[in-house]
């Protein structure tokens, strides 16, 4: 079997296609499934008391973020907002890999990028260089078994389908994190605030019902200049959407520190951050503020210091 055939076989085995899902079952959830005995919550209640003594949830990609108490907890929805081209989708892939490395299975539902391109970037981020060997790629593919699925749908999608996929992934596949890229593709009319509000409300309900974390990419309105910092008021969907989110993160490139030489984008001052990640809202955390990051062109990942490379996800030697 050729490397190309093996690559296609890998992609096919990780794709959730439209005919894989019993839509009638997952699009409508019987209310009886929500009626549960109190004793069935005992483990969760114990965990809630333990959580008061420790920081609960999955870790972030960067040590300094973890030291600030940032975690990804089940039953929450996080929004990631930014202008086009400011690394939102790249960040989603990096977060997914970090979660997978902690044993947290993920489903990526990217409606703006084909699965092959999504996986191509994930391989590059995982192995930390731009030209991995066929052997490394196959090893990475094996590593993702039971950890990663992709929903194969490109373009606009009905919100009820997205919710059905979330339920299916949580119940049938054991997925703990669903990464949706983006809100704009789920609610095509960007000025339909009521539809956006209702969809995010349903995502919040789904996350709490199944104990999963839903990561939602959102767009920001452009300022007069891309160098101007964005804030909560710039999030498409407005206050009604933001208020429902458990967490809101604003990502933005430091355009004032960028220059292009011979077609290659570089930082004017390498020690000054290339990217800002602002924690604008956090439901169960005390930190709100800005985390400075730097873009690594080889791994297509964001690193926490200018002199540090994004570490390999797979540490074994191949």
Return the CATH number at 130.
3.40.50.300
Do β-strands 76-82 and 247-253 pair in parallel, antiparallel, or remain unpaired?
parallel
Give the separation between CA 73 and CA 177, rounded to whole angstroms: 10
C-alpha R_g of the chain: 20
b/e map 167-186, b = 16+ CB within 10 Å? bbbbeeeebbbbbbbbbbbb
CB 79 within 8 A of CB 214: no
On whether the CB atoms of residues 248 and 277 are closer than 8 A, the answer is no
Residue 40 lies in a domain: no
User: What's the pLDDT at 284?
Assistant: 79
Provide the number of structural domains found in the chain: 1
Pairing of strands 289-296, 275-282: antiparallel
In this predicted structure, what is the pLDDT of residue 25?
A: 85
Contact 82, 219 (CB under 8 A): yes
Which residues are bridge partners to 220 per DSSP? Answer: 235
Which pLDDT does position 22 carry in this prediction? 84
Find the domain containing 260 and state its range: 3-27+57-303
Residue 134 included in any domain: yes
For residue 14, tell me if it sits in a domain.
Answer: yes
Residue 82 lies in a domain: yes
Alpha helices in the chain (DSSP H): 3-13, 23-27, 42-51, 63-67, 88-101, 115-127, 134-143, 159-168, 183-186, 193-210, 238-242
Q: Evaluate whether residue 39 is within a structural domain.
A: no
The bridge status of strand 76-82 relative to strand 213-219 is parallel
Flag whether 51 is in a domain.
Answer: no
pLDDT tens digits, the chain, 318 residues: what are they? Answer: 554 455 555 556 679 988 888 888 888 766 666 677 887 777 777 776 765 545 789 999 999 999 999 999 999 999 999 999 999 999 999 999 999 999 999 999 999 999 999 999 999 999 888 888 999 999 999 999 999 999 999 999 999 999 999 999 999 999 999 999 999 999 977 668 899 999 999 999 999 999 999 999 999 988 888 889 999 999 988 899 999 999 999 999 999 999 988 777 889 999 999 999 999 999 877 799 999 999 998 889 999 999 888 888 877 665
pLDDT at 147: 96
pLDDT of residue 140: 92
The C-alpha angle with vertex 219 and arms to 209 and 224, in degrees rounded to 5, equals 155
Residue 48 lies in a domain: no
**Domain presence at residue 249:** yes
HEC readout, 174-227: CCCEEEEECHHHHCCCCCCHHHHHHHHHHHHHHHHHHCCEEEEEEEECCCCCCC
Q: How high is the pLDDT of residue 265?
A: 83
Question: First and final CA of the chain: distance in angstroms?
Answer: 20
């Amino acid at each position: 079997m050729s490397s190309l055939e093996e690559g296609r076989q890998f992609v096919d085995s990780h794709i959730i296609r439209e005919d894989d899902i019993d839509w009638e079952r997952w699009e409508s959830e019987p209310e009886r499934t929500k009626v549960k005995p109190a004793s069935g919550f005992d483990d969760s209640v114990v965990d809630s008391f333990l959580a008061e003594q420790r920081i609960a949830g999955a870790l972030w990609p960067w040590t300094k973020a973890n030291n600030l108490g940032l975690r990804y907890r089940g039953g929450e929805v996080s929004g990631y907002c930014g202008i086009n081209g400011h690394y939102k989708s790249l960040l989603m892939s990096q977060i997914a890999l970090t979660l997978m490395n902690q044993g947290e299975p993920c489903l990526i539902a990217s409606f703006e990028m084909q699965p092959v391109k999504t996986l191509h970037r994930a391989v590059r981020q995982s192995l930390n260089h731009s030209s991995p060997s066929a052997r490394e790629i196959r090893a990475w593919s094996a590593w993702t078994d039971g950890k990663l699925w992709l929903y194969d749908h490109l373009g606009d999608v009905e919100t009820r389908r997205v919710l059905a996929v979330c339920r299916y992934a949580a119940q049938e596949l054991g997925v703990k994190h669903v990464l949706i890229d983006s809100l704009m593709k789920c609610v095509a009319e960007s000025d339909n605030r009521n539809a956006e509000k209702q969809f995010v409300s349903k995502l919040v309900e789904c996350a709490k019902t199944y104990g999963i974390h839903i990561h939602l990419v959102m767009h920001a309105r452009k300022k007069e200049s891309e160098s101007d910092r964005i804030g909560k008021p710039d999030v498409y969907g407005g206050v009604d959407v933001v208020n429902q989110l458990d967490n809101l993160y604003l990502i933005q490139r430091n355009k004032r520190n960028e220059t292009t030489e011979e077609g290659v984008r570089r930082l004017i001052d390498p020690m000054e951050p290339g990217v800002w990640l602002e924690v604008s809202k956090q439901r169960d955390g005390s930190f709100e503020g800005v985390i400075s990051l730097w873009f690594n062109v080889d791994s297509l990942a964001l690193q926490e210091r200018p002199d540090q490379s994004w570490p390999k996800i797979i540490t074994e030697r191949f």
